[in-house]
């Protein structure tokens, strides 16, 4: 059987993203979403998640790079308690036991906040793919096992010669190398994940054509794939702390991603490819 999980990251970041997620799930092909537990519209996201139980898979969008820290662990946040790390810094900081302990404390707070709301996550992934860094991935995988979360995103993507941005090729190469190590953590903790992933090559522009192009690269009949999207119904009017995140959040391509998810064409495409719309709990 061929299974596809279509996930929206950044659930809870703003009202426009939340609206896109509920519409793309009720009217389109979105099957899963991951919640930013420190997002400005977290409470609204929780209410939506409870309304869509059994229809929308929910995960934790683990975050070390943006917004207010829940643990207030000084080594990983500023004096204002703002998470201020990035992927590059984490590549080196992963080797510090003190930093890893702080990361684990922050991850615990984020997971426990979501679970305390009564919403039970079926997987975790991360903001800016920070959990794909091997020693950090192992922390996330260990906590999944401890908290009874069955799935985790394992970033590994087929090489695409037509990425949205040249820099995305570098991202794919890095996470694919890391996946060689991370799959051992998946196996060690008995977690579920997909065979492949689509979305890093086209981060910032996962339009209908990008989704179709990525899926046309897949081969085999017994496969599972996760498609990463960042939909929004409109350009948000707010400011989301880090300027890099604000620019990404305000990208008009997010509207195109939403339109792709509710397009009749994408439903027909998945049917023709014989993919079953799934959640991590279905793996």
pLDDT digits (tens, 9 = 90+) for 135-174: 999 999 999 999 999 999 999 998 776 666 778 888 999 9
pLDDT recorded at residue 72: 85
pLDDT recorded at residue 79: 78
Q: At the top level of CATH, which class does the domain 2-282 belong to?
A: alpha beta
pLDDT recorded at residue 280: 98
Residue 105 tokens, joined: 């404390």
d(CA 4, CA 89): 33
Residue 80 has pLDDT above 90, yes or no: no
pLDDT band at 110 (very low <50, low <70, confident <90, very high): very high
Residue 197 has pLDDT above 70, yes or no: yes
pLDDT recorded at residue 168: 82
Which residues does 105 contact at the CB level (< 8 Å), separation at least 6? 71, 73
Phi-psi group of 28: left, alpha or beta (phi > 0 → left; psi -120 to 50 → alpha; rest → beta)? beta
Annotated domain spans of the chain: 2-282
Work out the angle between the directed axes of helices 97-116 and 134-147 (0-180°, nearest 10).
40
Predicted model pTM: 0.94
Number of H helices, E strands in the chain: 10, 8
């Amino acid at each position: 059987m061929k299974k596809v999980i279509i996930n929206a990251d950044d659930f809870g970041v703003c009202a426009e993203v939340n609206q896109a997620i509920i519409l793309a799930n009720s009217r389109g092909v979105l099957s899963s979403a991951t919640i930013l537990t420190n997002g400005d519209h977290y409470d609204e996201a929780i209410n939506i998640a409870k309304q869509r139980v059994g229809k929308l898979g929910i995960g934790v969008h683990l975050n070390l790079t943006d917004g207010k820290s829940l643990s207030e662990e000084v080594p990983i946040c500023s004096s204002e308690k703002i998470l201020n790390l990035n992927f590059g810094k984490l590549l080196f900081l992963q080797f510090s036991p003190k930093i890893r302990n702080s990361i684990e404390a922050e991850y615990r707070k984020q997971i426990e906040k979501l679970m305390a709301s009564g919403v039970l996550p079926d997987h975790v992934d991360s903001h800016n793919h920070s959990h794909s860094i091997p020693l950090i991935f192992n922390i996330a995988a260990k906590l999944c096992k401890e908290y009874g979360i069955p799935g985790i995103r394992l970033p590994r993507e087929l090489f695409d010669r037509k990425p949205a941005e040249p820099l995305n090729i570098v991202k794919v190469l890095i996470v694919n190398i890391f996946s060689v190590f991370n799959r051992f953590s998946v196996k060690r903790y008995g977690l579920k994940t997909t065979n492949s992933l689509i979305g890093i090559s086209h981060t910032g522009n996962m339009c209908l054509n990008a989704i179709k192009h990525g899926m046309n690269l897949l081969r085999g009949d017994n496969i599972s794939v996760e498609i990463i999207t960042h939909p929004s119904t409109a350009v948000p009017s707010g400011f989301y702390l880090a300027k890099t995140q604000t620019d990404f959040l305000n990208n008009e391509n997010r509207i195109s991603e939403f339109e792709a998810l509710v397009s009749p064409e994408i439903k027909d495409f998945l049917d023709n490819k014989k993919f079953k719309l799934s959640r991590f709990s279905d793996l």
